[in-house]
Homo-oligomer: A and B are copies of this chain.
């Protein structure tokens, strides 16, 4: 029996936590290699991405077109997406559906080795397990914004 954990309502096991981390490790290697076809293949056919600016891409064809349009900005830089603080909950109605939230830091290293950073983001994904393999069904990307500090009480 797995140890009870109980921090989330539907806390996943260590095996599922490792499965999800492995999925992202593969997905990010593809996007960081500008392998946009391979990246699109990590989404379901009807997969959807809502970007931080509000732009919505639905389906692999739209995603590919969007990525192809943004490729020139990655000329001469090596981009890497870093994740942290994954929250993973399996759907109570379907254990093959996972709700995942995580922090993202994006580095851009130029040919001289200088590293610059994009703003930080928080991402909400829905993953589905199809034939034992995870795919992203939806992704909503939020750019991290300052919050108004609560008033002194």
Query: Could you mark each residue 87-112 of chain A with 1 if its beta carbon is under 8 Å from any beta carbon of chain B, else 0?
Result: 11000000000000111010101110
- Whether the pair A25, B71 counts as a contact (CB closer than 8 A) is no
Which one of B13, B85, B131, B143 lies within 8 Å of A28 (CB-CB)?
B85
* Contacting pair B113 A109 (CB below 8 A): no
In Å, the complex CA distance between A13 and B3 comes to 9
Shortest Cβ distance from A62 into chain B, in angstroms?
15
Cα distance A29–B120 when bound, in Å? 13
Residues of B within 8 A of A44 (CB): none
B-contacting residues, A109-153, CB 8 Å: 109-111, 113-115, 117-120, 131-134, 143-150, 152-153
| 21 examples of A-B residue contacts, CB within 8 angstroms | A3-B13, A3-B15, A5-B19, A6-B131, A11-B19, A13-B18, A14-B14, A22-B88, A25-B86, A26-B87, A68-B153, A71-B149, A71-B150, A76-B146, A78-B119, A78-B120, A78-B147, A82-B82, A83-B85, A109-B119, A115-B118
Binding site for B on A (CB under 8 A): 2-8, 11-19, 21-26, 28-29, 33-34, 36, 68, 71-72, 74-78, 80, 82-88, 101-103, 105, 107, 109-111, 113-115, 117-120, 131-134, 143-150, 152-153
